[in-house]
Amino acid sequence: MQVKGTLKMISNLIDELPSSERKIAEYILEHPGKVIKFTTAELAEKSNTSAAAVIRLCKSLGIKRFTELKVRLAGDLANKDDSTGYRDISANESLYSIIEKSRTNSIQSINETAELIQEEMVQKAIHVLEKAKNIHLFGIGASHIISLDAQQKFLRIKKNATAFSDLHLVATLIANSSEDDVVFGISYSGETEEVAKVLKLAKEKGAKTISLTKYGGSKVANITDISLHTSFTREAPFRSGATSSRLAQLFMIDVLFLGLSASRYEDTVTYIDRTRESIHTLKKL
């Protein structure tokens, strides 16, 4: 698979970067075709920085070395499309137009998230979830809907999972947690105070922690052992965190669920069959 998504990663992070790394990032965004032919020293010279700053930028992006950065840039350039970005609705817009905008926004959000996935990090999350005795999911507002979806999926394959939005109730669960448990915090912004507090408490109690936030550094992501990300878009008024970003979060939960299912395939098939049979039995009662 051709790796890509680096230009999106850079544009997402550029405002958070130190000045020297930001200068390099700006140069890459303006001249990606040139950068794939550069050495580290050449990029440093062109951006009026240093080779050390180029290496630091790679680390900030979660990329191990400059050669990998160039491979990813080449993937971006080979997969350019005519996307016009996310589109918001306007007053008295036709239903047909609303359907088309919703479709393209949803597809773009999922595509961008797929491009940003760090497979090594996702694999770590799957391993931790597979070994977990209990999985406690926590999110506020729209993120709570994502946690409920994850709970339903995990329960179907015999993984004990909870999903509560009540801060005190979650704190009670975490008080009795151990290193065999996982606390999974979900926050699109990554700045939800309640989620950050829950994850901090979980770490103090020795539980393993996972977060799902928009791409980039954030209060929530910086706390957890494993940080997972969705694409970051500057949401328009009608396309707030409850729409396209919600679909990206659901996509990530699907990736985790299917990855977990594949790692214990035979057991998963058995559990899914049992739950299906149980539901059919209830319908006959």
pLDDT 10s digits, 217-259: 889 999 999 999 998 765 554 444 456 788 999 999 999 999 9
What is the predicted pLDDT for the residue at 2? 44
271 and 174 within one domain: yes
CB 242 within 8 A of CB 236: no
The whole-model pTM stands at: 0.77
Q: What is the structure's pLDDT at 215?
A: 86
* DSSP E strand boundaries for the chain: 134-139, 161-163, 181-186, 208-214, 226-230
- 87 in a structural domain: no
Same domain, residue pair 123 and 68 = no
Question: Which residues partner with 107 through β-bridges?
Answer: none
Burial (CB count <10 Å: 0-12, 13-18, 19+), residue 94: exposed
Write the CATH number for 15.
Answer: 1.10.10.10
282 within domain boundaries: no
pLDDT value of residue 106: 84
Q: Same domain, yes or no, for 142 and 65? A: no
pLDDT the model gives residue 95: 87
Residue 90 resides in a domain? no
Same domain, 148 and 257: yes
Considering the domain architecture, whether residues 230 and 154 belong to the same structural domain is answered as yes
Buried b / exposed e along 128-166 (16+ C-beta atoms within 10 A): bbeebebbbbbbbebbbbbbbbbbebbbbbebebbbbbe
- Both tokens of residue 175? 């008080």
Parts of the chain with a pLDDT under 50? 1-2, 82-83, 237-241
The answer to whether residue 153 sits within a structural domain is yes
Angle at 229 between CA 225 and CA 232, to 5 degrees: 145
Residues 6+ positions from 34 with CB-CB distance below 8 Å = 46
| Structural domain ending residue among the three candidates 78, 107, 134 | 78
Residues of the domain holding 181: 119-277
pLDDT for 112? 84
pLDDT at position 204: 94
In the listed set 51, 78, 105, which residue is the last one of a domain according to the structure? 78
134 in the same domain as 266: yes
